[in-house]
């Protein structure tokens, strides 16, 4: 593992932690879903819920782009 790959892994971990600390949240009722944005995990308003599928999609995107970066920076022997 070279230094570029280490930096990519550190960046991936950092982005996943940030995405966890500031998850997307929404106000969901029987009739509608209002996407309201991102907020610190401890400060989400009372009637809002974390939009878990969007959070998982963010994590998946971070991992895919990170692993592509790891493949592109692989040492060639």
**pLDDT by residue (tens digit) across 12-38?**
999 999 999 999 998 877 788 777 789
pTM of the complete model: 0.84
Q: Report yes or no on 37 lying in a domain.
A: yes
Q: 38 - beta bridge partners?
A: 24
Q: How far apart are CA 45 and CA 34, in angstroms?
A: 13
Domain span at 38: 3-72
Q: Report yes or no on 77 lying in a domain.
A: no
**pLDDT by residue (tens digit) across 29-74?**
778 877 778 989 988 888 888 889 999 999 999 999 999 999 999 8
Q: How many CB atoms lie within 10 A of CB 20?
A: 12
Q: Report yes or no on 27 lying in a domain.
A: yes
- Look at the chain and report how many structural domains it folds into: 1
Q: Report yes or no on 35 lying in a domain.
A: yes
Q: Report yes or no on 34 lying in a domain.
A: yes
């Amino acid at each position: 593992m070279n230094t570029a790959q280490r930096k990519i892994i550190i960046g991936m971990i950092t982005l996943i932690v940030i995405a966890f600390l500031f998850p997307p949240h929404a106000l969901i009722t029987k009739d509608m879903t209002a996407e309201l944005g991102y907020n610190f995990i401890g400060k989400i308003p009372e009637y809002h819920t974390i939009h878990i599928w969007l959070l998982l999609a963010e994590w998946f995107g971070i991992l895919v782009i990170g692993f592509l970066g790891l493949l592109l920076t692989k040492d060639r022997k």
